[in-house]
Amino acid sequence: MNYPNLPEDCTSLLCKYLTKEVFEELKDKKTTNGFTLEQAINSGLVNLDSGIGVYAGDEESYSLFAPLFDAIIEDYHGFGREDKHQSNLNPDDLNAPNPDPNGEFIVSTRIRVGRNVAHFPLGPAISKEQRDLVESSIVEALKSLSGELEGRYYPLLGMSKEVQEELIKDHFLFKEGDRFLDAAGLNRDWSEGRGIYHNKEKTFLVWVNEEDQLRIISMQKGGDITEVFNRLVTAVKAIETKVAFSYSEHLGYISSCPTNLGTAMRASVHIALPNLAKDMEAFKAITDKYYLQIRGIHGEHSQSEGGVYDISNRRRLGITEVQAVQDMYDGVVALIKAEKELTK
Ligand code: ADP
Ligand code: CIR
């Protein structure tokens, strides 16, 4: 492969940090799983509108291709090469009373973490056999869950289109055919090895073998962030007794996209802010101050509908899980205050 043509107007972190020198240094390297630089950067080259543009094929990708990944990680998370990640999943340390007890603004709350199984390649480099093995070991582990977390696994293979569409529309299931994941090699052998586990109420869900091998999700209507966090922590701890997760002292929980490293946590609310939405500059000033990301209500790369936005923590690495949720909480309190002032 030759040094790719990166257009002047490309704003992704890949375009920013893949200099000719970095490319020349890394272009012939291969991880033990056979993952190459060409594969790591393909998503960003095919999708020049990427925000980031790179994916790791295994934990080793982060060290072997460090001259590229470290620069991207430092830019996105403000996390240095010598820094160490710290985890804190203790619900007692979170201070997040419902910011909207009358249910005027917050439609729903969702907190998810990404996890990958130790000693396996990540999705972009995994083989079909390994992926199937990952699926069966996760499903086996999920069978041991009890009480509120008890549920059933629904493989994507054989699921009717109607059921699949309904689950996607209702925000429970991942979409199909994402072009960023596709170019990263994450959609190979679709839909085999993929599926969703959920309890009866759909307040606890696990996505299997999408962007990460597990996406563990707790969600419910309204703004009780503490209840959502508590349920998530209980579930993560229970699953961890059965499946070993890939974790490094430096980077925390290992994920295929560098934005998810560390806590791998995205805590979000769907929140109606119709007045603030009329002044995007003021809106963004608040979200920037509290390290928040604005998404549309059908997930990443989607649009807002009816003034409802998906607001979540942007930082995931170098801060604890409690801090990630606290970022979201503090920002949401400030957003509600601003929206109320505009409504007067
Ligand atoms: P991820 O959470 O893995 O980063 P997405 O941004 O694609 O991925 O979101 C996945 C799904 O979760 C989408 O259907 C999205 O609308 C839904 N979702 C995210 N946050 C909330 C929330 N607070 N309430 C309800 N659904 C949500
Ligand atoms: C991109 O680069 O835009 C996609 N690969 C998604 C990156 C992860 N998302 C995010 O931080 N918003």
Which atom of ligand 2 lies at the shortest distance from residue 76's CA? 11
Of 211, 263, 315, 316, which residue is the catalytic one?
A: 211
Among protein residues, the one whose CA lies closest to atom 4 of ligand 2: 50
Q: Please indicate whether residue 31 is annotated as part of the active site.
A: no
Q: Please indicate whether residue 215 is annotated as part of the active site.
A: yes
Ligand approaching nearest to the C-alpha of 47: 2
Phi and psi for 36 in degrees, rounded to 5?
-115, 165
Joined together, the tokens standing for residue 115 give 């996890």
How confident is the model at residue 193, as a pLDDT? 98
How confident is the model at residue 95, as a pLDDT? 95
Which atom of ligand 2 lies at the shortest distance from residue 181's CA? 5
Helices (H) and strands (E) in the chain, counts: 11, 10
Which atom of ligand 2 lies at the shortest distance from residue 295's CA? 12
Among protein residues, the one whose CA lies closest to atom 9 of ligand 1: 299
How confident is the model at residue 306, as a pLDDT? 86
How confident is the model at residue 299, as a pLDDT? 80
How confident is the model at residue 303, as a pLDDT? 84
pLDDT tens digits for 162-177?
999 999 999 999 999 9
> Which domains, from first to last, does the chain contain?
91-154+188-343 (3.30.590.10)
How confident is the model at residue 186, as a pLDDT? 98
Residues in the chain with pLDDT < 70? none
Ligand approaching nearest to the C-alpha of 298: 1
Ligand 1 binding pocket, CB closer than 6 Å: 108-110, 112, 171, 215, 219, 266, 268-270, 295, 297-300, 310
pLDDT tens digits for 146-157?
999 999 999 999
Q: Are 245 and 301 in contact (CB under 8 A)?
A: no
Q: Please indicate whether residue 259 is annotated as part of the active site.
A: yes
How confident is the model at residue 304, as a pLDDT? 83
Q: Are 216 and 148 in contact (CB under 8 A)?
A: no
Ligand 1 centroid, distance to 7 Cα (angstroms): 31
How confident is the model at residue 264, as a pLDDT? 98
Q: Please indicate whether residue 112 is annotated as part of the active site.
A: yes
Which atom of ligand 1 lies at the shortest distance from residue 299's CA? 6
Cite the DSSP H helix spans in the chain.
Answer: 13-17, 20-26, 37-46, 59-64, 66-77, 128-142, 161-169, 179-183, 225-240, 280-289, 321-343
Among protein residues, the one whose CA lies closest to atom 7 of ligand 1: 299
Ligand 2 centroid, distance to 191 Cα (angstroms): 22
Other beta carbons within 10 angstroms of residue 93's beta carbon come to 13
314 closest CA partner among 335, 333, 300: 300
Q: Please indicate whether residue 81 is annotated as part of the active site.
A: no
Of 259, 263, 287, 320, which residue is the catalytic one?
A: 259
Q: Please indicate whether residue 10 is annotated as part of the active site.
A: no
Ligand approaching nearest to the C-alpha of 169: 1
Ligand approaching nearest to the C-alpha of 218: 1
Which atom of ligand 1 lies at the shortest distance from residue 297's CA? 16
Give the end-to-end CA distance of the chain in Å, rounded to a whole number.
Answer: 60
